[in-house]
Amino acid sequence: MTIRTARPDRGQHFRSRIHCLKKLEATMVEMQDPKCGVKGSEQKLNITTIPHVITGETQAHAYTHLITPEEAQAFGTMLVAYGYIYPLQNHRKLIMCNDTSLYRFQTPYFWPTQTWVAEDTEYAIYLAKRNIRKKGVLEPYEQAHYNHLHKWLNHKWDFIVLQATEQYKAGRERKKPDRVVFDCQERAYWMVNRPPVSVCNYNIFYQQAIMRSKVKSSVSLGALVKYITTYKNHDPFLATCLPSNPWQTDNDTYWNLNMRGIDVPTKMRVERWSFSFFELLNDLRGRDDFKIFLKKEFSGENLAFWEAAEELKLGTASSMSTKAETIFKTFLAPGAPRWINIDGRTMGLTVKGLEHPHRYVLEAAQTHVFLLMKKDTFFRYLKSPVYKEIQKKALNPEPHNFTYQNARNRSPGIHPIILWQQEEQEKAKAAAASAPVDVKAMMSKIDRKK
C-alpha cells in the first residue's frame, strides 16, 4: 500500500497580514485590561455557570465614544471571524450580534499569529475526540471531514484514536465549567481554520470539474501564439508608439491623436477595432463610428440598450430605480419607441427582475444583445463602406525624432480637466440636438424678438 503524505499547505493563512493582526492583538490586550477594558461577568449557559462572559451589546458599546455603533459592530464581527472572540451559543455563526448573545475572549494560545500550524493530524484528533464524546453523532460538515481524514490518514489512525482517547479522559477530570470553556475555545479555533463545507458543495465542485471542457495543449498554445501575433504591434513594450512614446520623449502628440473627440483616428487605432467586438466597444471613438453604421442599418437600439445597461451597472444606487424604469419604457415595454428584439424567456426574466431593480438586473438581456451584435452586426460593419472609409482617412503619423530643442519648443498639452469639460459640453450639445423641439416656445421667442 502506498502511503500518501503529500498534502496541500493548509497552514496559517494570516502570515501576509501579520502587521494588521499585531494591531488587533494590541487592541485585544486593552479590551481585557481589568481596569479600563470590557467588563465581563458570570453567565449561565444551560445549567453551567461560565466566568468572564461578555455580551454583544457590551462589546458594541465599549467603543461608541471613538467610532459609530455600526463600525463597532463590524469591528466585533472581524474579531470573531479572526478567532479573537468566540461565541458560546451559536458556534457556526461567526459574527458579533448586537444583542444579549454570549461571547468570551479567546486564549492567546489559539490566536492566529501563533507559530504552530493547524495540521490535519491535530484536526483529526479533535474530530475523533468529538466523535467519542458525542457517541458517533457529529455535525454533517464534521462527519464529511472525519471520513475524508480517516481515508487520508489511515496509516496512523490508531495513533490518532489513542491521542483522542487520552485527551478525552484528561478532559473528564476537569470541572464542568472548564470543560465547557475549553470545548468552546477549541471548536471556535477549528471553525476559523477548518470552515464547514457541505457535501453538496463538494458534489457541485466535482460535477463542474467533470463537465469542464478539456483543451489540448497544442490548441491552447496555438491560441496564445495567435493572440501574440495579433497584438505584438500594439504592445508598447514590443513595438514603438507612433509618433513617439510620451513617457520617454515628453511629447503628448500620441495622446492628442488618440482622444475620443478626434475626427480622424490613427491607422493603428482603426486596425485594433477589427481584432474583436470588445475592442471596438472599448474604444469610445470606435463606438461612435459603429453608431453611424447602425444608424444606416436602422438597428441602433441594440447598442443604445447595451450602453444603458452599462450605465445602470456602473451608476449610483440612488438613481437605479429611475434608470431602470426609463430603460423599461424605452426598450422593453410593449410599443416602446426603441424596442429590442430578444427571445421571450430572456424578456420574461428581465421584466420580472425589474420589479425589484438592482445593478445586474439587465445582465441576461445585455448579454443576449451583445452576442447578437458580435455574431452578426460586427462582421457586417467590418465589410461596410463606413469602416473602409475610416480606414482610408486614418492617419499614419511619422516617427518623432526627439531632441532637447524639440522639448523646449513643445507647446503645452491640454489639461485633463479641460478635456473633460469639452467632452461634457459635447454630450450636452448632443442631448439638446436629440431632444424634441417645442414649436410654441420657439414661436414665442421669435415674437419677442420682433
CATH number, position 373: 1.10.167.10
Confirm if 362 and 350 have CB atoms less than 8 A apart: yes
In angstroms, what CA-CA distances link 103 with 71, 83, 309? 18, 11, 46
Question: For position 147, what pLDDT does the model report?
Answer: 86
CATH number, position 99: 1.10.10.10
Whether the pLDDT of residue 180 is over 60: the answer is yes
Gap between the terminal Cα atoms of the chain: 105
Residue 379 and residue 258 share a domain:
yes
- Residues 6+ away with beta carbon under 8 Å from 61: 69, 72
Residue 43's beta-bridge partner residues? Answer: 50
Whether the pLDDT of residue 374 is over 60: the answer is yes
Whether the pLDDT of residue 381 is over 70: the answer is yes
Question: For position 434, what pLDDT does the model report?
Answer: 64
Q: Show which of 60, 80, 115 is a domain's final residue.
A: 115
Question: For position 304, what pLDDT does the model report?
Answer: 92
Residue 121 and residue 105 share a domain:
no
Q: Does any domain span residue 430?
A: no
Question: For position 307, what pLDDT does the model report?
Answer: 92
Percent of residues, the chain, with pLDDT higher than 70: 83
Q: Does any domain span residue 170?
A: yes
The residue type at 257 = L
Q: Does any domain span residue 126?
A: yes
Residue 265 and residue 182 share a domain:
no
Whether the pLDDT of residue 204 is over 60: the answer is no
Whether the pLDDT of residue 382 is over 90: the answer is yes
Residue 179 and residue 50 share a domain:
no
In what order do the strands lie in the sheet containing 85-87?
41-45, 48-55, 102-105, 85-87
Question: For position 9, what pLDDT does the model report?
Answer: 44
Confirm if 94 and 187 have CB atoms less than 8 A apart: no
pLDDT class for 195, splitting at 50, 70, 90? Answer: low
pLDDT class for 192, splitting at 50, 70, 90? Answer: confident
Question: For position 327, what pLDDT does the model report?
Answer: 92
Residue 372 and residue 308 share a domain:
yes
Beta strand pairing call for 41-45 and 48-55:
antiparallel
CATH number, position 182: 1.10.1240.60
Beta strand pairing call for 85-87 and 48-55:
unpaired
Percent of residues, the chain, with pLDDT higher than 90: 17
Query: Which of 177-182's residues contact partners 24+ apart within 8 Å by CB, and which partners?
Result: 177/48, 177/49, 177/50, 177/51, 180/45, 180/48, 180/50, 181/50, 181/104
Residue 367 and residue 395 share a domain:
yes
Question: For position 410, what pLDDT does the model report?
Answer: 58
Q: Does any domain span residue 176?
A: yes
Whether the pLDDT of residue 118 is over 90: the answer is no
Whether the pLDDT of residue 236 is over 80: the answer is no
SS3 64: coil
Whether the pLDDT of residue 247 is over 60: the answer is yes
Residue 122 and residue 89 share a domain:
no
| Domain of 137, in residue numbers | 117-196
Q: Does any domain span residue 347?
A: yes
Residue 143 and residue 84 share a domain:
no
Give the CA radius of gyration of the chain: 33
Q: Does any domain span residue 143?
A: yes
Whether the pLDDT of residue 200 is over 50: the answer is no
Residue 377 and residue 357 share a domain:
yes
Q: Average of pLDDT values for 370-398?
A: 91
Q: Show which of 91, 115, 139 is a domain's final residue.
A: 115
Residue 270 and residue 378 share a domain:
yes
Higher-confidence position of 129 and 112 = 129
Question: For position 21, what pLDDT does the model report?
Answer: 78
Question: For position 259, what pLDDT does the model report?
Answer: 84
Question: For position 5, what pLDDT does the model report?
Answer: 40
Residue 85 and residue 141 share a domain:
no
Question: For position 115, what pLDDT does the model report?
Answer: 55
Higher-confidence position of 27 and 215 = 27
Question: For position 79, what pLDDT does the model report?
Answer: 84
Question: For position 17, what pLDDT does the model report?
Answer: 66
Closest CA to 83 of 65, 108, 60: 108
Q: Does any domain span residue 21?
A: yes
- The pLDDT tens digits of the residues spanning 300-341 come to 899 999 999 999 988 888 888 899 999 999 999 888 899 998
| Mean pLDDT score of the chain | 80
Confirm if 249 and 400 have CB atoms less than 8 A apart: yes
Question: For position 3, what pLDDT does the model report?
Answer: 38
Distance of alpha carbon 400 from alpha carbon 409, whole angstroms: 14
- The pLDDT tens digits of the residues spanning 49-72 come to 788 888 888 777 777 677 787 888
Residue 89 and residue 186 share a domain:
no
Residue 103's beta-bridge partner residues? Answer: 54, 87
Q: Does any domain span residue 220?
A: no
- The pLDDT tens digits of the residues spanning 273-296 come to 999 999 999 998 999 999 999 998
Q: Show which of 166, 196, 226 is a domain's final residue.
A: 196
- The pLDDT tens digits of the residues spanning 394-405 come to 988 888 776 655
Residue 86's beta-bridge partner residues? Answer: 104
> Grid coordinates standing for 144?
464529511
Q: How many domains does the chain have?
A: 3
Distance of alpha carbon 217 from alpha carbon 238, whole angstroms: 25
Whether the pLDDT of residue 343 is over 80: the answer is yes
In angstroms, what CA-CA distances link 373 with 164, 300, 302, 340? 64, 11, 8, 12
Distance of alpha carbon 16 from alpha carbon 92, whole angstroms: 26
67 phi-psi bin (left φ>0, alpha ψ -120 to 50, beta other): beta
Query: Which of 388-396's residues contact partners 24+ apart within 8 Å by CB, and which partners?
Result: 390/265, 390/270, 390/289, 391/267, 391/270, 393/264, 394/264, 394/265, 394/266, 394/267, 394/269, 394/270, 395/257, 395/264, 395/265, 395/266, 395/267, 396/242, 396/266, 396/267
